[in-house]
Copies of this chain bind each other. A is one copy, B any other.
Amino acid sequence: MEKELAKSRGLELIKRSKIAIVGSLDAHGYPVTKAMFNAKHDGLREVWFSTNTSSKRVGGFRTDRRASVYYVDEDTFEGLLLVGTIELLQDEESRRMLWVDGCEKYYPQGVYDPDYTVMKFTAVRGNYYHGLRNIDFEVR
């Protein structure tokens, strides 16, 4: 499988996924994962999530920004792994960009709720697989 085809199929998988599996490191350096809503993405390069500032996950990213974002379709045996780093953002533009009706369930004080944090993931490389075949690629 050619790299451009793998990337284009990976992008299709992101588009049809409701959730992404975010990988991070816990306080003891163990790899941990959590499903998050796939809020916004820009190609394969950037993925954006909203999260609670007070969560353990966010605390971890303050000390180690290494992360991954994974999408899987268990019916078609396809998976896309993106590897990169997380930035935590609380500026107004980022907050407004991800805010949608229903967010007040998680952040009762609204768009300026101090417990509302935007996580921006930036990929540097990835791997796409389908069945038994898989291919590594760089992300720019």
Write out the residue numbers on chain B whose beta carbons fall within 8 Å of the beta carbon of A68.
Answer: 30-33
Write out the residue numbers on chain B whose beta carbons fall within 8 Å of the beta carbon of A31.
Answer: 23-25, 31-33, 66-68
Q: Which residue of B lies closest to A131 (CB)?
A: B105
Main secondary structure on A side of the interface with B: strand
A79 touches B23 (CB 8 A): no
Write out the residue numbers on chain B whose beta carbons fall within 8 Å of the beta carbon of A14.
Answer: none
Mark out the residues of chain A between 16 and 52 whose CB falls within 8 Å of any chain B CB in the assembled complex: 18-19, 21, 23-26, 28-35
Write out the residue numbers on chain B whose beta carbons fall within 8 Å of the beta carbon of A112.
Answer: none
Write out the residue numbers on chain B whose beta carbons fall within 8 Å of the beta carbon of A58.
Answer: none
Number of copies: 2
- 8 nearest A-B residue pairs (beta carbon): A23-B31, A31-B31, A33-B70, A35-B72, A30-B66, A23-B33, A32-B68, A19-B74
Please report the C-alpha to C-alpha distance between residue A37 and residue B130 in the assembled complex, in whole angstroms: 15
Write out the residue numbers on chain B whose beta carbons fall within 8 Å of the beta carbon of A33.
Answer: 21, 23, 31, 33, 68, 70, 81
Q: Which residue of B lies closest to A19 (CB)?
A: B74
Q: Which residue of the partner chain, among B21, B67, B83, contacts A70 with CB atoms under 8 Å?
A: B21
Q: Which residue of the partner chain, among B35, B74, B81, contacts A32 with CB atoms under 8 Å?
A: B81
* CB proximity of A33 to chain B, nearest CB, Å: 4
A66 touches B29 (CB 8 A): yes
